[in-house]
Amino acid sequence: SDVSAGRELKSWKEIEILEAYLDNSATTWCTEHVRDVVVKTMMEDYGNPSSKHTKGMEAEKYLREQMALARRDLAYLESVLQEIQQAETEQDFLDIRGEMSDAGFIRKQGKKVLQRPSKPREFKTSGGFRVLVGRNNRQNDKLTLHTARGKDLWFHVQKAPGSHVVVMSRGEDIPDTTRQEAAELAVIYSSAYKAGTGAKVAVDTTEVKNIWKANGAKPGMVLYEVYTTVYITPRDGLEEQLKQKK
Residue 62 has pLDDT above 70, yes or no: yes
Q: Which residue has the higher pLDDT, 210 or 15?
A: 210
Partner residues linked to 229 by β-bridges: 204
* Burial of residue 130, with CB atoms counted within 10 A of its CB: 0-12 exposed, 13-18 middle, 19 or more buried: middle
Q: What is the pLDDT of residue 24?
A: 61
Q: What is the pLDDT of residue 3?
A: 41
- Positive or negative CA dihedral for 235, 236, 242, 244? negative
Residue 17 has pLDDT above 70, yes or no: no
Residue 244 has pLDDT above 80, yes or no: no
Q: First vs last Cα of the chain: how many Å apart? A: 72
Q: What percent of the chain has pLDDT over 90?
A: 41
What is the C-alpha R_g of the chain?
26
| 118, 133 Cβ separation under 8 angstroms | no
Residue 14 has pLDDT above 60, yes or no: no
pLDDT in tens, 186-195: 999 999 998 6
Residue 52 has pLDDT above 70, yes or no: no
Q: What is the pLDDT of residue 16?
A: 45
Partner residues linked to 166 by β-bridges: 132, 154
| 120, 165 Cβ separation under 8 angstroms | no
Strands 201-207 and 228-232: antiparallel
pLDDT in tens, 109-150: 666 655 677 899 999 999 999 999 999 999 999 999 999 998
Q: What is the pLDDT of residue 63?
A: 83
Helix, strand or coil, per DSSP, at residue 213: coil
Q: What is the pLDDT of residue 99?
A: 85
Q: What is the pLDDT of residue 22?
A: 59
Residue 49 has pLDDT above 60, yes or no: no
